[in-house]
A and B are shown apart, each in its own frame.
Chain A
């Protein structure tokens, strides 16, 4: 059992959901304001860390 991989998986899905909502609230042009850009950037950075954990655990 890899608890770490499972946690990373869900955390990644939740971060993707945060990004999904930025796309929703900025539809249809997806021009992000400064606050949204910061939020998106943070989510993507965190997402990369979770993907790295998945790579470590599963490959």
Chain B
């Protein structure tokens, strides 16, 4: 079905169960879909923008209220909407890291964390994982010591993933933050796979910045996300412009430099805000999501030769699975080669596994209903049996 002459209708969420590893938490709520219909025009949230003309001051729709509520929800002091987590990394780094400064990321960091540091010319170093693909406080401490000794400077920032995108493992954030603060290093939490789907308490974790992705985990349109910080850093990262035009003498009020003025001015902002009540509620049911994740993982592990590379039992809905000794053995002789798995799944109403993947791949069960979880479990095992694999 066509949406326009050249654009297909995107109806995959209505027709299939989608287990794509990065899409699950970003599916809109019903309220966000309705808000998107009403606020689809470009500057749609700006109808009631009054002095001092800034996004986070708008009362109707309730963007100002959202900023206050969201900061409280995350147990942080201040929040701003940004066009994606990457723009949050960029805002923080641009504010507190200078050219040549050492900076720490992890061996599981997203490329946009690296890119935000590369933009300012930072000297980037990684904290290695341990044997279980975890970033630990011990490894962070050792790396801080090494980098400080090698460069003669203490790192200006330490990035840490709450949940990494490769394994979906939950990392030792509170311990890492405690170590970093012993060296006066501010800590940025990448909450792209946690904020909006599981409980996150910034103060309890002891971090200085919480970055979230709206389209990854807050049921919001892309690109959306947020930066949350403490009173200590709010005036630095959310500093207002001081510039003055040398001919015109113009100044620009309370526009924030790192935000480039206003950030999300239409459907992205209102979609994220419309989903917020349901998002606040759904994080309280994270245990149910984890249980569902384990049901699918158990079903997969019952297929001979299949193993999970993520932590077990699962504590998150994003999982990295190794089927080299199961589905990949089928792919070696199957006429459709590695594409047999994604095609077989699609025939059973499931999408989201990268076509051709039969070795190491990822999936995410977040947000599926009980009936859908059962269907996914049965589908994997049926495909295994149909292709001669043993299922215990």
A residues adjacent to B (C-beta < 8 A): 10, 13-14, 17-18, 20-21, 23-29
Contact = CB atoms under 8 A, between A and B. Distances in A.
Interface string B26-38: 0100100110011
B112 interface: no
B14 A23 contact: yes
Contact of B14 (A10, A14, A20, A29): A20
B349 A20 contact: no
Contacts of B38: 10
B15 interface: yes
Nearest to A10: B38
Given A10-B38, A21-B33, 8 more contacts: A18-B30, A23-B14, A24-B13, A24-B14, A24-B27, A27-B17, A27-B349, A29-B375
B16 interface: yes
B364 to A, nearest CB: 16
Interface in B9-31: 13-17, 27, 30
Nearest to A18: B30
A24 B30 CA distance: 10
B16 A20 contact: no
Contacts of B348: 28
Question: Chain B contact residues: over half helix, strand or loop, or mixed?
Answer: helix
B15 A27 contact: yes
Contacts of A14: 34, 37
Contacts of A20: 14, 30, 33
B369 A28 contact: no
Nearest to A28: B349
B21 to A, nearest CB: 18
11 contacts: A10-B37, A13-B37, A17-B33, A20-B14, A21-B30, A21-B33, A23-B14, A24-B14, A24-B27, A25-B369, A28-B375
Contacts of A13: 34, 37
B315 to A, nearest CB: 25
A32 B219 CA distance: 24
Given A27-B349, A29-B349, A17 B16 contact: no
Contacts of B16: 27-28
Contact of A17 (B27, B37, B349): B37
A27 B373 CA distance: 11
Question: Chain A contact residues: over half helix, strand or loop, or mixed?
Answer: helix
B256 to A, nearest CB: 34
B372 A27 contact: yes
Contacts of A18: 30
Nearest to A16: B37
Contacts of B13: 24, 27
Contacts of A27: 13-17, 349, 372
Interface string B322-360: 000000000000000000000000001110000000000
A24 to B, nearest CB: 5
A27 B348 CA distance: 11
Nearest to A29: B349
B329 to A, nearest CB: 27
B124 to A, nearest CB: 41
Contacts of B17: 27-28
A24 B371 CA distance: 12
Chain B CB within 10 Å — which of A21, A25, A27 has the most?
A: A27
Contacts of B30: 17-18, 20-21
A19 to B, nearest CB: 10
A15 B52 CA distance: 37
Chain A CB within 10 Å — which of B16, B33, B348, B349 has the most?
A: B33
A26 B350 CA distance: 12
B221 to A, nearest CB: 14
B347 to A, nearest CB: 10
A28 B379 CA distance: 12
A28 B375 CA distance: 9
Given A18-B30, A21-B30, A28 B15 contact: yes
A21 B30 CA distance: 7
B19 to A, nearest CB: 12
A13 B348 CA distance: 30
Contacts of A23: 14
